[in-house]
Amino acid sequence: MKICVLVKEVPDAAVQKRIDPSTKRLDRSGENNLNPFDTHAIEAAMQLKEGGALQVDEVVAVTMGPGSAARALQKAVALGADRSVHLTDDALAGSDVAATGLALAKVLESESPDLVLLGQQSDDGECYTIGAVVAEHLKMPSLTQVVKMDVDGGRIRCERQAEYGYDTVALSLPAVISVGDAINEPRYPSLKAIMGAKKKPLDTKSAGDVGIDAGQVGEPGSKTAVLALNPPPQKEAGEIIEDEDTAETVEKIVAWLEERKLI
Amino acid sequence: MAGILVYALHDDEGNFNKNSLGALSEAAKLAGELGTEAAAVVVGDVADDKVAALGNYGVAKAYRAKGVPEGLAQPIVDVMAKVMGDNGFSYALFGGGLLGFEIGAGLAARLGGGVTMEVTNVKVDGGKLVSERPILQDSEIADVAFVSEPGIIIGRLNAFDVKESGGSAAIEDVEVELSEWSTKAELVTRGEQRGADVDIEAADVLIGGGRGLGEAEGFKACEELADAFENGAVAATRAVVDAGWYPYAAQIGQTGKTVAPKLYLAVGVSGAIQHKVGMQNSENIVAINKDANAPIFEFSDLGIVGDLNKIMPKLTEALKARG
């Protein structure tokens, strides 16, 4: 069977994120990191492959994004994916969640995966929702925020926290599963894997290659429009203590609590 | 009509979720401004009196799909898509929570509509709904409009206040044929509680522990610190509960509890949005974290940048010494 892992390039956590005021889109220059949540999805795929309860022939990393997004694929391959697919097209720029989900579903269709894995959210857009959109277009069962996966016969038995406690859900394949960051501890790529990553196959596809009509994606295909960006209501900044002398720090905390009659 | 349909989530006893009731109240208010109506959708065999009581939150009507199970998103997408199509609803609104995200996103894909998520406020502009959504760690608020209908709005946890208006909802039972792929997931068990049953909602002081504690043992120091206060208890982030460091009953945030104690003292908590929504209404927030850039410092009243392993035991000692 084949597992496709959806990955995304996001701004480095250390880089200050900003919105381009003219386009009202996230300024994606200076992006160079694989979304940390996606590394858990790759690790989950590798554990299924190595676990042996399923015959996994291939793990394929799939992304959509500008040319630079190939770097995220390279990192995904260094973490164990066998090859990668990069959907890139000017027509895709400015896609909202609905349009992005449709485009990803189309590129996945061209791979006919038995299982699609993704991280529960991206480090930039905090969307949570892309898995459910992709699953609907692929007509597959899906579940998000999964923290444990086991192979149970031909099904994947998943656990997650929902509103009333832990739920256990068994999904028939093919399926789309988004995983939480508690599911595993991603491995570090070996130097050999990093060096070898560039040699593994990378397919670059345009929107037309996977049957995406340009009118369905990008700005024309998006169903939402950002009208304005406003600053949030200002909260008064709190007091900050740098702990240099702990005894002194503790005295300050106690005094602060006393002042507010909290002790 | 061009109304607003709201998903009302309930537990296995048919008790509705507070965030769903908030979404109903909000939808009723917005529908009033739009000159239309809000309605609820309920799945499962919930008793007539409980469904009718949703009218107390301002909806005139509730659609009930008795044969469809509660707890998984895709069958509910089938129900809402049918109800919206048959009755011409223009919008769907969801309170915060994981199922709302899944159903809302699936519904948008099914109906070819737009979707906004993590919405903290909805307003009416030119006869249409506009969502306010905080982005980039809440540093900006985006006003997002729908280009076409239907529009799907998924709220952030606790974004919509519950308002009781009195009244009773008329019930319309609907028959829905499930999509083939909606039957491929089976809910084996629902709402399982794990770990000890601790009560964090009644505490005046909460010590909130996060991944920065380093290991499960770190919670011992939290418990000792909580004991040094008069009515203190220990709470936890989702990450450490999922890691098995502390019981689920103590979890705060998006999928856990919402608290507002007199003092919330966060140790090793980064302050991710999912956690923030569950504790931001605490009267006083104090945070200890070694990372000066942790988001929690942006909404703390007192922030201490330092090693919690050094500070916590000394703080406990100092508080106990006061007697």
Task: For A68-101, write each residue's pLDDT tens digit.
Answer: 999 999 999 999 999 999 999 999 999 999 999 9
**Residue B54 domain-assigned?**
yes
Q: How close, in Å, is residue A220 to chain B by CA atoms?
A: 10
Say yes or no: B243 and B145 in one domain.
no
Q: Which residues of B touch A139 (CB under 8 A)?
A: 179-181
CB B93 within 8 A of CB B26: yes
Whole-complex ipTM = 0.89
- Whether the pLDDT of residue A136 is over 90: the answer is yes
**Which residue is it, tokens 């909202």?**
A96
* DSSP strand pairing (B151-155 vs A239-242): unpaired
Closest CA to A60 of A37, A79, A83: A83
CB B198 within 8 A of CB B247: yes
Between chains, do A141 and B74 touch, taking CB under 8 Å as contact? yes
**Quick check: bond before B75 cis, omega within 30?**
no
Structure tokens at A34: 């694989």
CB B286 within 8 A of CB B232: no
The band of B308, judged by pLDDT with boundaries at 50, 70 and 90, is very high
- Whether the pLDDT of residue A124 is over 70: the answer is no
**Residue B194 domain-assigned?**
no
The three-point CA angle B74-A97-B104 to 5° equals 30
Range B24-31 average pLDDT: 98
Say yes or no: B179 and B53 in one domain.
yes
The pLDDT of residue B70 is 96
State the total domains in chain B. Answer: 2
**Residue B200 domain-assigned?**
no
Q: How close, in Å, is residue B300 to chain A by CA atoms?
A: 6
Structure tokens at A219: 């700005």
**Residue B190 domain-assigned?**
no
Q: Which helix (H) or strand (E) holds B279?
A: helix B273-279
DSSP, collapsed to helix, strand or coil, labels residue B32 as helix
**Residue B198 domain-assigned?**
no
Which residues span the domain enclosing B82? 4-183
Between chains, do A165 and B154 touch, taking CB under 8 Å as contact? no
Q: How close, in Å, is residue A197 to chain B by CA atoms?
A: 31
What DSSP letter does each residue of B39-54 carry, written as one string?
Answer: EEEEES---HHHHHGG
Say yes or no: B166 and B223 in one domain.
no
CATH number for the domain harbouring residue B254: 3.40.50.1220
Between chains, do B105 and A223 touch, taking CB under 8 Å as contact? no
Which of the residues B238, B302, B310, B311 would you substitute to probe the A interface, choosing the one with the greatest number of A C-beta atoms within 10 Å? B302
Partner-chain residue, chosen from B190, B263, B302, that has the shortest CB–CB distance to A167: B190
User: Rounded CA gap, B47 and B29, in Å?
Assistant: 26
pTM, entire model: 0.87
Give the start-to-end residue ranges of the domains of chain A.
Answer: 2-221
Report the range of poorest mean pLDDT among A3-7, A35-39, A42-46: A35-39
CB B54 within 8 A of CB B24: yes
Instruction: Give A9's contacts (C-beta < 8 A, 6+ positions apart).
Output: A31, A32, A33, A34, A35, A63, A65, A68, A69, A71, A72
Boundary (domain end) residue, out of B152, B183, B214 = B183
Which of the residues A26, A164, A261 would you substitute to probe the B interface, choosing the one with the greatest number of B C-beta atoms within 10 Å? A164
Return the residue of A nearest to B302 by Cα: A239
Say yes or no: B19 and B161 in one domain.
yes
Instruction: Give A18's contacts (C-beta < 8 A, 6+ positions apart).
Output: A26, A27, B136
Closest CA to A70 of A203, A181, A192: A203
What DSSP letter does each residue of A95-122 carry, written as one string?
Answer: --HHHHHHHHHHHHHTT--SEEEEESS-
Instruction: Give A143's contacts (C-beta < 8 A, 6+ positions apart).
Output: A158, A160, A169, A171, A175, A176, A177, A178, B72, B102, B185
**What is the CB neighbour count within 10 angstroms for residue B196?**
10
- Which class is A2-221 in CATH? alpha beta
Say yes or no: B96 and B214 in one domain.
no
Say yes or no: B174 and B227 in one domain.
no
Range A28-50 average pLDDT: 87
Tell me the pLDDT tens digit for each residue of A142-176.
999 999 999 998 899 999 988 888 999 999 999 99
CB B281 within 8 A of CB B157: no
CATH number for the domain harbouring residue B172: 3.40.50.620
Say yes or no: B98 and B221 in one domain.
no
Closest CA to B4 of B92, B66, B120: B92
Range A248-262 average pLDDT: 96
Q: How close, in Å, is residue B172 to chain A by CA atoms?
A: 26
Which position has the higher pLDDT, A36 or B143? B143
Q: Which helix (H) or strand (E) holds A71?
A: helix A70-78
User: Rounded CA gap, A83 and A70, in Å?
Assistant: 12
Structure tokens at A231: 């600053």
